[in-house]
């Protein structure tokens, strides 16, 4: 039996959740991300804001220039994750396999449940109806024979859209004369390379396959396959242990040169990495440090380590990497672990962390908290769980910056 895949993509997810919870925001250009007086980017925005040319990943200053009358809000990731779990409950009802791409997007293999495209059409309509009735949110849904075609279909009629691509022939007929950017995975840089060689449309990819492969190698071969609608990939349920790395980073509102502050922030980031790693029983065999300087130059440093998900170990390795980089004003700093492997470990509370004899670095951890509390006057011990939240972490780091 051929595959039948549904791709579900929520419409302006973060913004839609906020508008659902606060009807006064409806119809307004709502921009979720940093505030106009802060550094950062747009996470997402309402369709009213997109009319002004605002889009995800845009610098917040540029977004404000284009849409000065917009409503700007910080994201509430805890709320969005909770809504995402509700979405997953609906989606999983109809799929034998679900592959989550993000909080608001998934591929669903409905081959056995649907049997036919008519059956898949009914499932898609049910998903759209339940999402609206139960959660007050709209989504766009594509039904197709492959993952690429399903993703393409869900984009075709956004927002609140529905579209079908039943076979390769239909896919090619739809895409043949579109720009190469219309093919999933073709980004701006790849398109620029192709355009420079006179390859502008999907038809051009078909007619110049050897040139595409010469330019892009393995990716080029993949694109030539896609240009003919060929994609045999299966829906693969996401498993946390399949992640390549776990990291957290933070952008300061003003450039930082204070090395003590930077080390302290690395410690908080290491705690966040540990929290996520232990949540899924993951251990890393390497530590990474990321820095973006004031001039926007970014560097990444890494070091292979013994298997660990300990915040104090991640912190110490990250500090060693930090000691080796050029010291000049820093805009962003991040820490992470990579080369992940699985092993069960109970997630520990702060008290457990200090009392558990298996945690050999408890004294170092406690001393680090005490030193930071003396320096900044913050009760880290009493509010450890909150530090893992995106908004609290940023507010804490900014408080530390202002009082360092």
Q: Which residue has the tokens 């804490």?
A: 396
Residue 233 domain flag = no
Distance CA 179, CA 232 (A): 23
Same domain, 40 and 139: yes
Give the DSSP H/E element, type plus range, for residue 386: helix 384-387
DSSP letters for 56-109: TT-BHHHHHHH-TTSEEE---HHHHHHHHHHHHHHHHTT-SEEEEEETTEEEEE
Asked if residue 15 belongs to a domain, the reply is yes
* Residue 54 domain-assigned (yes or no): yes
Of 131, 158, 185, the last residue of a domain is 158
Q: Which value, in Å, is the radius of gyration of the alpha carbons in the chain?
A: 24
- 377 found inside a domain: yes
For residue 177, the domain's CATH number is 1.10.150.20
Residues 144 and 184 grouped into a single domain:
no
Residue 105: which CATH number?
3.30.70.270
Residues 188 and 290 in one domain: no
For residue 166, being part of any structural domain is answered with no
The reply to whether 215 and 318 lie within a common domain is no
Determine which one of 18, 48, 105, 274 is catalytic: 105
The pLDDT value recorded for residue 365 is 82
In this structure, are 149 and 176 located in the same domain? Answer: no
Residues 81 and 59 in one domain: yes
Asked about 105 being catalytic, the answer comes back as yes
In this prediction, residue 382 carries a pLDDT of 66
DSSP state letter for 348: P
User: Do 150 and 290 share a domain, yes or no?
Assistant: no
**114 and 217, same domain (yes or no):** no
* Domain identity same for 199 and 295: no
139 and 254, same domain (yes or no)? no
Q: Report d(CA 243, CA 245) in Å as an integer.
A: 6
Q: What sign does the dihedral 114-118-121-122 (CA atoms) show?
A: negative
Host domain of residue 12: 1-158
Domain count, the chain: 3
Q: Whole-model pTM?
A: 0.78
Token output for 253:
């509102």
> Per-residue confidence of the chain (404 residues) as pLDDT tens digits?
589 999 999 999 999 999 999 999 999 999 999 999 998 899 999 999 999 999 999 999 999 999 999 999 999 988 999 999 999 999 999 999 999 998 999 999 999 999 999 999 999 999 999 999 999 999 999 999 999 999 999 999 999 999 999 999 999 999 999 999 999 889 999 999 999 999 999 999 999 999 999 999 999 999 999 999 999 999 998 776 677 899 999 999 999 999 999 999 999 999 999 999 998 889 999 999 999 999 999 999 999 998 889 999 999 999 999 999 999 999 999 999 999 988 644 444 555 445 444 445 678 888 888 888 889 988 776 677 778 887 788 889 999 999 88
Residue 336's CATH number: 3.30.1490.100
């Amino acid at each position: 039996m051929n595959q039948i895949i549904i791709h579900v993509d929520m419409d302006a997810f973060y913004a839609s959740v906020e508008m659902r919870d606060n009807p006064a925001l409806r119809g307004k250009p709502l921009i979720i991300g940093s505030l106009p007086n802060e550094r950062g980017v747009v996470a997402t925005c309402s369709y009213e804001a997109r009319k002004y040319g605002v889009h995800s990943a845009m610098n917040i200053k540029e977004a404000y220039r284009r849409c000065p009358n917009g409503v700007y809000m910080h994201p509430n990731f805890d709320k969005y994750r909770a809504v995402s779990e509700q979405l997953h409950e609906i989606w999983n009802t109809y799929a034998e396999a679900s592959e989550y791409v993000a909080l608001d997007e998934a591929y669903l293999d409905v081959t056995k449940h649907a049997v036919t495209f008519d059956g898949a059409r009914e499932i898609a309509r049910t998903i759209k109806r339940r999402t609206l009735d139960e959660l007050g949110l709209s989504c766009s849904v594509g039904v197709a024979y492959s993952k690429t075609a399903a993703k393409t279909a869900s984009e075709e009629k956004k927002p609140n859209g529905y579209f079908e691509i039943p076979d390769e022939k239909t896919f090619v007929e739809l895409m043949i004369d579109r720009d190469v950017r219309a093919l999933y995975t073709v980004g701006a840089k790849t398109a620029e390379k192709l355009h420079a060689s006179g390859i502008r449309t999907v038809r051009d990819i078909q007619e110049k396959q050897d040139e595409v492969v010469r330019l892009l190698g393995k990716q080029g071969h993949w694109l030539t396959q896609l240009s003919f609608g060929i994609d045999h990939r299966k829906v693969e349920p996401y498993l946390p242990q399949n992640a390549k790395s776990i990291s957290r980073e933070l952008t300061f509102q003003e450039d930082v040169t204070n090395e003590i502050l930077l080390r302290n922030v690395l410690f908080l980031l290491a705690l966040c990495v540990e929290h996520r790693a232990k949540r899924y029983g993951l251990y890393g065999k390497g530590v990474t440090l990321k820095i973006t300087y004031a001039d926007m130059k970014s560097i990444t440093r890494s070091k292979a380590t013994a298997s660990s998900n300990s915040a104090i170990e991640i912190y110490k390795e990250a500090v060693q990497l930090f000691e080796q980089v050029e010291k000049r004003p820093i805009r962003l700093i991040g820490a992470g672990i990579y080369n992940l492997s699985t092993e069960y470990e109970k997630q520990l509370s702060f008290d457990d962390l200090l009392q558990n004899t298996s945690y050999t670095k408890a004294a170092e951890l406690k001393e680090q908290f005490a030193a930071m509390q003396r320096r900044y006057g913050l009760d880290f011990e009493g509010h450890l769980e909150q530090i893992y939240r995106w908004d609290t972490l940023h507010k804490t780091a900014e408080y530390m910056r202002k009082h360092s």
